[in-house]
Each structure stands twice: as C-alpha cells, then as structure tokens.
Amino acid sequence: MHDTSVDRTTNGTGLVSEKTLQEIQSLDAGYWFTPDGSNHYTHDRESGAYPLRGVATGVRRPPKGFKAADFRVPTLRSVVQAFPKTPINIEIKGRTKEEDPSEYITNAEVLARELAGVQRDDLIVVSFQQTAVDRFHGLVPTIGVAPGVTGVAGWILSSAPPAQGTVAFQLPITFEFGDTLLDVTTADTVARTHQGGYAVHTWFGDKDVDGAQNWRKLVDWCVDGIMTSHPVALERTLESHRAPKACAPR
C-alpha cells in the first residue's frame, strides 16, 4: 500500500495500521482501478470504467492468465516470490510527517527483518527520510539503497559523497522548493552521477509531465530507469526512441 489508508485503491475504508492482514487481503484492490488517464485510481466515473471491479471477490471472472487472488492486496513477501527476476524498488514510508523520522526508522527495522534472508541483488530500498535509509543499510548492508532528501540535496548541491550502500539516485525532473521550481534531473546531473558510479532513476513530481516528450528527453540523457504510471506507453516509446550509443548500460 502506498497510502496510510485503504480508501483510495480498494473497496474498504480505514487506516492500514488499524487492520489485520486478513482484513486487508479480503479487500478488492482493483475496485477503483481505471486503465486510462493519468490517475489510475479515481472515484468519479461510471461503474463501467472499472473493468477489474469484483474480480478479487469473485463477482467477475478474472482476465485470461490471472486468478482472483491477483487482484487482492499482496504482501511484500509474495511480490518478491512472484517476480524472482524483476528488479523491485521498495520505499520506506510512515504515517507521521516527514520531519519526524521515528516511525520511518521503525519501519526500516521491520523491513530489514523481512528482507534479511532474501538472496537477491536486484532489490533497492529508498525513503524520503535519510535516517531510515541509513538504519536499513546498517541492518542489511547487502541490499543497495538510494539516498533520501538530504542525501540527494548534498549530492546535487555540493557533490557530497552519498551514504554507504548507495547504488542509485532516484530523482524527480523538478522539485518545488517554496515558490521556486528547481531543475533536479538534467543532462549534467545524470552525467556527473554516472561518473560517480551511480545509476539514475527518474520519477515524476507534481509539476512534471509523465509523457513521451519527457521520456525521450530522459532517454537522451542516459537515465537508467524511468518510474512511469504508463508502462505500456513507455515501452512503445522506447521501441522507437533508442538511447544514444554513448549511454553505457548499468
């Protein structure tokens, strides 16, 4: 779950922290999903706009190749097991404001216990809270991490070495700081980060357009990963817009 509650993406209501795993996994995780538009979970459309509604609960037959359980809320453990050859990005979140790291650190410790025995080299852990990233790395140093806000700021503004365990920087194209819109991911930033030996994964902030024009620009800059809400459209764009030969694979 990305949110602190189940309301936005399922047919349930209430906080995740107040529910048992059994209660959460009885919910319909496809209830509010729409395949089109920039917001895939919207509550303002006609019922016909939600083609997966009812699959999880047996009201509707699952699409070919799937089963009802595929449309319930998965655990991290089940995702790791279901996709043994797919790189997975894991974000440590918390209910409290980002200025208070205590819950993020607690969740980092829980995540560390969950992943301690996982033998994979294609997982990466990140959080907006640098202290949570540091705590996780201290407990499971074999899994790569990406810096939090302070770690990113130190690298972007002054080339300060990132914390131990860093394998990638995960950056928005722009970042809104007060009334100023800062350019974070640029051709120079990507080149300098690569020179430091780190990959660059780009996500889209509130002011960034998650679309083909920006995807092509990011490909030309040699980014290593694009976190999009439109993976099929991105794949089509990548088929026709190849990275320059100067972009070394990472």
- The answer on 185 and 90 residing in a single domain is yes
DSSP letters spanning 89-104: EEE---SS-TT--HHH
CA–CA–CA angle 96, 97, 98 (5° rounding): 115
Which token pair is 248? 């070394």
Q: Identify whether residues 88 and 11 lie together within a single domain.
A: no
Domain co-membership, 38 together with 104: no
What's the pLDDT tens digit per position in 38-62? Answer: 678 889 999 999 999 999 999 999 9
User: Based on the number of CB atoms within 10 Å of its own CB, is 209 exposed (0-12), middle (13-18) or buried (19 or more)?
Assistant: exposed
If asked whether residues 68 and 120 sit together in one domain, one would say no
What is the reported pLDDT for 100? 79
Which domain, by its residues, includes 22?
Answer: 1-74
- Output DSSP code: residue 105: H
* pLDDT, tens digit (0-9, with 9 covering 90-100), for 136-177: 999 999 999 999 999 999 999 898 999 999 999 999 999 888
> Cβ distance 6 to 23 under 8 Å?
no
Beta-bridged to residue 125, according to DSSP, are 90, 145
| Residue 245 belongs to some domain of the structure | no
